[in-house]
Structure 1
Amino acid sequence: MALKKNVLLSVFGKDLHFDMAYHEISSYSGTKEKTDFIMSVYDNSEKTNLIDQKSYSFSPDIQEGAANIITQAYNYLKTMDEYKDAVDVLEQGQI
């Protein structure tokens, strides 16, 4: 899974706009109380140009039957204003 959304970055005083940049969780770690993860942002789904990385944390649901940690992390992001307009991207083999 990944997300797509527009990104505006300011670099050396110039604004760079990336239409439907590709946002993917690249790593995560944690405990049953807290999960930390890194969101890697690429200019497109080819993932050849990393344009940004951001760190986030949330309290995971560890109850039996809860979604896996990666799904929970994406769901957490979609509750934030920054990601409210993001579009889900399913990778090959995902439903």
Structure 2
Amino acid sequence: MGMEMAIVLDNGIPVEKAYVRIGKLEENNKSLTIYVDTYYDHQSFLDGKNLLSRIPYNFSANVSDDAKNYRKQGYEFMKTLGEYADAIDVFEEGQLA
């Protein structure tokens, strides 16, 4: 899973259909760090192109027995952040919501 959204790079260049996804996550007790990778578009990711940026975010994970997996919690956390609030979910082939 990932998300598609319009962004503006640090150098001012707009990217209309950037593809963002959690590329890596690290657990430390109840704290999670997700690393959000940004690609020019979804096809660039599928083609193995270099990412445009990687941004770390920290949040407290739900560790109860019935909690969602950490990756799903990470995407839900991202949607609470203003820069990802309007992002559109993109599912990989065979992946369910």
TM-score w.r.t. length of structure 2? 0.88
Please list, as runs of the form range in 1=range in 2, the aligned pairs for 1:22-61 lying within 5 A after superposition.
22-46=19-43, 47=45, 48-61=49-62
Percent of aligned positions that are identical: 28
Determine which structure has the larger strand proportion and give its number.
Answer: 1
Partner SS state of residue 86, structure 2: coil
Aligned residues: 92
Structure 1 segments unaligned to the other structure (5+ residues): none
Determine which structure has the larger helix proportion and give its number.
Answer: 2
The one-letter amino acid of 2:19's match is Y
The residue number in structure 1 matching 2:78 is 77
TM-fit CA distance, 1:49: 3.9
TM-score w.r.t. length of structure 1? 0.90
The one-letter amino acid of 2:39's match is Y
For 1:18 and 1:49, the matched residues in 2 are separated by 15
Q: Compared with structure 1, are the counterparts of its residues 49 and 17 closer, same or farther at alpha carbon in structure 2 (3 Å cutoff)?
A: farther
The residue number in structure 2 matching 1:9 is 9
Partner SS state of residue 64, structure 1: coil
Structure 2 segments unaligned to the other structure (5+ residues): none
- Across the aligned residues of Structure 1 and Structure 2, the Cα RMSD in angstroms comes to 1.1
